[in-house]
Amino acid sequence: MEGSDPFAKDWERMLRKQLAGRGINCPRVLSAMGQVPRHQFVAEGQQHLAYQDQALAIDCGQTISQPYIVASMSQALELSADHLVLEIGTGSGYQAGVLAELAARVITIERHGSLHEAAAGRLAGLGYENITLLLGDGSRGYPEEAPYERIMITAAGRNVPGPIWEQLAEGGILVAPLGGEGVQQLTRIVKRQGKPVSEVLMDCRFVPLVTDAE
């Protein structure tokens, strides 16, 4: 984050008040949130809202999550610099950028072609070389490079899709919003001896996870 950036003051306020002031205490996550310019991922005309603590609409009926949720999900994954991460639901690409600051490599899947292309352009323009963007049904995961030490799902479902669970490594962590329409529960799940050990982090509201089978 450069001081000459016209968004610098709002960006710094986001880090200090919305994140550090609300329990985001991982220095690496705070650093990542300070590296990825959210104003480049929001819809045209909404840049002035980029660093407010709110979700914003993007194309295809999707949203870019509020900064606090992005940071909370990233912190819950307990990422190391050598991790391989699978993200289900690229959306704007903002969350993928944050993950790429924290992990060795990110594979992210988006089902909407226009979102996929726009995110790829943004992330390439910012110089990210450790993100693989795929177009397809995210509920199937990407078995070609499984298992994954960490998985993040950025759309809501009642349960974690079976293929995605199978692709999580033993001892790995998965973070996802679980529940029906309306309010869901942001949940952290650790795979222990093949079984889920779950912890609810907070209530949340995400767009639904849609599969090609629906």
Asked if residue 150 lies in contact with residue 103, where contact means CB atoms within 8 angstroms, the answer is yes
3-class secondary structure, 149 = strand
In angstroms, what CA-CA distances link 111 with 117, 135, 138, 160? Answer: 11, 6, 7, 17
Tokens, residue 124? 């390439």
Give the dihedral of Cα atoms 153, 157, 159, 161; nearest 10 deg.
-60
**Active site includes 114?**
no
* Catalytic position from the list 65, 72, 92, 139: 65
Catalytic annotation, residues: 65
